[in-house]
Amino acid sequence: MRRILVTSALPYANGEIHIGHLVEYLQTDIWVRFQQLIGNRCLYLCADDTHGTAVMISARKAGVSEAEFIARMQESHQRDFAAFDIRFDHYGSTNSAANRAICERIWHSIRQAELVVERDVEQLYDPRVGTFLPDRFVRGQCPKCGSPDEPGDNCSRCGHHYSPSELIEPRSTLSGATPELRKAPHLFIELEKLRGFLESWTQTGDHLQAEIANYLKGHFLGEPLRDWDISRPAPYFGFEIPDSPGNYWYVWFDAPIGYIASTHEWCERHGERLDDWWRSPECEVHHFIGKDITYFHTLFWPGMLKTAGFSLPTKVHIHGFLTVDGEKMSKSKGTFVAARTYLRHLDPSYLRYFYASKLSSRVEDLDLAVDEFIAKVNTDLVNKIVNLASRTAKFVESTGLSPTYPDDGGLFVAAAAAGAEIREAFEATDFSRAVRLIVALADRANPFVEERRPWDLRKDPAKAGELQDVCTVALNLFRQIVVYLSPVLPRLAEQAGALLGDPITRWEQSQTPLVGKPVNKFTHMLRRVEEKDVLAMIEESKPAGEVDTATASPAPGVVGSTTWNDSGVPLAAEPLAPECTIDDFQKIDLRVARVIAAEDVPEAKKLLKLTLSLGGDTTKNVFAGIKEAYKPEQLVGKLVVCVANLAPRKMKFGTSEGMVTAASTDGAPPTEVFVITADTGAVPGQRVH
RNA sequence: GGUCCGGUAGCUCAGCGGUUAGAGCAGGGGACUCAUAAUCCCUUGGUCGGGGGUUCGAAUCCCUCCCGGACUACCA
């Protein structure tokens, strides 16, 4: 029996769980349940990741204390996980006494290893809010290309990288205030000192997927590893560093330590020793994470563990992101579905099954195509698998299963043998392969029922024995499939166990048929998915107030903010700029213009080249960063609003003589950009007053 | 631009050196009626991205090009 400790990444306490998060938690939960099913001792641990500026700000906005804020969020997270049958052995919080203690312990080791250096860091500071600003909380004009309102780390227009302090006319997105440059001491971990260890750990053994090891080799280990800035000056929601008053551990220092702290809390409750799980060569440690946090889990984290003498991860399992119908999840398209919203419309088993049917051990994005989702769930689960039971169980309600297992032409034995391959696939987190193999078993079981025609047998009392045998076979094949599928579909396993009076708890149950048992009354196990439910879920996930003009028209004559129920998200994402005067506004000459030509700039990722007419012979050549939102032909003929007196700017592909105005939510993907057009009747050349 | 992954039937994918390339779904035809109109049988459909090469033999190995995606672009 192996002893295995498993974690999923700690969800951040700044937002709700959505179906993208669930890829990871379901993947992990399935693997854990599989391990338990085959008899291994397997613990599944998680916690909320609670620290950092973002939580501090969100709590402030919500008008509650951080403690209150994270408590609410944690409750919400745990409720969602439970609803999807994600079964943690313990769910902690990084804002716990246990975590603080272990952070201190690990910190002490890192200090002792002389890996810490102190250096001053200049960072922008918001004097109005009284806090230092992470890069993404600062916006301003790009120092290179002059593009206004660019984020604090790099320019979305020219791609130039800079530090937020290089921005021209920077402002805080929290308050609109002009940030000040302030110097503060920060603590750094000198990761380069661990190079030897990290090279060998990442490049040998089976700790990482091959593509990840390769990626690290090329991207990080190819040059000196940079020092890791792991402290933040006050105010910061987190743990104060004991030997550095006024400084707090950066959230990414204490977050992974939460894995150990959560284990510690579990140990306290169950009378176990932490060292048996985190300092024992007998115990495997498996982390499941998304590809976005590869860096933290494959370099810093092993470095910290190694230095502090904890077990290194046996394996870091890294998965890709979720896409919906081939595109990134999008709030406006309604594909950014909160777990809570999903639950209002659909059965969690559908998602568990669908994800399982798509997941492999590779670092690939997983696509949820709505049609495929519906087809897979209905065809495989309901029509093929559950159908085996629902078409035969009632014939043996009174007699129960045959006392000995009848001749089934070798079906049960063959499916039992297939278990070895299915088991390997689960072990390797190659769930799509496992599911494919399992469904193939159902494809063989249904023809058996068809051929033996139980519905005819029941008409002849002399064939009662044969009827019982046929149903005994069908129900056993069903049960066998459900045992294999039980890590994916625990509810179905429970229902099947109840039907046959024999709870499904062990993989071995797939190897021996069940005989001589009474059969309970069959009750529905899984409803078919209906397209309208999926569509309703997507509709509900669209931002409130966003009316789909193709399908809905507003009630005439009724106008008011309560009627429209517009979301507060865009404004909150990008608070109002500092006040300006009418004179300030007059400097900007906005004009109505007609797009008379639009063409793609093939070499550019974001740009379209537009020719704007201001009426008469006056035209302007403008490059607009809207390629990902519009096709050129959609724009030709449109009346847009342009900044007509903008200084011309030479760009890689030509000179841009103006700018087309467009609306977007800060932080939204580049596909969510909406060009501002003029109402009917406006003509090119008119000024916007 | 760099790195990596992929391109096999309309769709999702399997096969990854060896008999005429497979499955499920979808399409077409038929059967059945126990079952959540589920099931079963038959069937249409593919120069395995293009081109070179290695080999007795290639979807499978090598080279090259094209296309799609992810990551990355002095950033952690």
DSSP letters, A468-528, are HHHHHHHHHHHHHHHHHHTTT-HHHHHHHHHHHT-----GGGGTS---S---PPP----PP
What percentage of chain A carries pLDDT values higher than 70? 93
Q: Find out whether the peptide bond into A235 is cis, omega within 30 degrees of 0.
A: yes
Binned at pLDDT 50, 70 and 90, residue A577 comes out as: low
CA/C1' separation A439–B37 (Å)? 22
CA/C1' separation A357–B21 (Å)? 24
Among all strands, which nt has the closest C1' to A459 (CA)? B34
Q: What does each C-alpha distance from A485 to A9, A478, A493 come to in angstroms?
A: 25, 10, 8
Whole-number Å distance between alpha carbons of A277 and A283: 6
**pLDDT over 70 at A566, yes or no:** no
Instruction: Choose among A576, A593, A571: nearest CA to A678.
Output: A593
Go through chain A and tell me how many residues it has: 689
Among all strands, which nt has the closest C1' to A528 (CA)? B36
Q: pLDDT tens, A395-416?
A: 999 999 999 999 999 999 999 9
DSSP, collapsed to helix, strand or coil, labels residue A320 as coil
- To 10 degrees, the CA torsion angle through A288, A289, A294, A298? -30
**Protein residue minimizing CA–C1' distance to B5:** A364
- To 10 degrees, the CA torsion angle through A92, A96, A97, A98? 30
CA A68 remoteness from chain centre? 25
Among all strands, which nt has the closest C1' to A390 (CA)? B35
Binned at pLDDT 50, 70 and 90, residue A555 comes out as: very low
Q: How many alpha carbons lie under 13 Å from residue A500 in its C-beta half-sphere?
A: 31
Edge-to-edge strand list for the sheet holding A327-328: A327-328, A322-324, A366-368
CA/C1' separation A667–B38 (Å)? 46
Please give the helix or strand (H or E) that residue A590 lies within, else none: strand A590-600
CA/C1' separation A447–B31 (Å)? 13
CA/C1' separation A447–B42 (Å)? 14
Instruction: Choose among A627, A656, A655: nearest CA to A643.
Output: A656
Prediction ipTM score: 0.92
Whole-number Å distance between alpha carbons of A511 and A75: 41
Whole-number Å distance between alpha carbons of A528 and A238: 47
Written as one string, the DSSP assignment of A341-391 is HHHHHS-HHHHHHHHHHH--SS---EEE-HHHHHHHIIIIIIIIIIHHHHT
Q: pLDDT tens, A244-302?
A: 999 999 999 999 999 999 999 999 999 999 999 999 999 999 999 999 999 899 999 99
Which of A435-449, A629-643, A655-669 is most confident? A435-449
Tell which strand B nucleotides have any atom below 7 Å from a protein Cβ.
3-5, 11-14, 23-26, 32-36, 38-41, 69-76
Binned at pLDDT 50, 70 and 90, residue A322 comes out as: very high
Among all strands, which nt has the closest C1' to A223 (CA)? B74
**Protein residue minimizing CA–C1' distance to B26:** A375
Beta-carbon contacts of residue A338 (< 8 Å; ≥ 6 apart):
A16, A17, A18, A19, A541
CA/C1' separation A392–B39 (Å)? 12
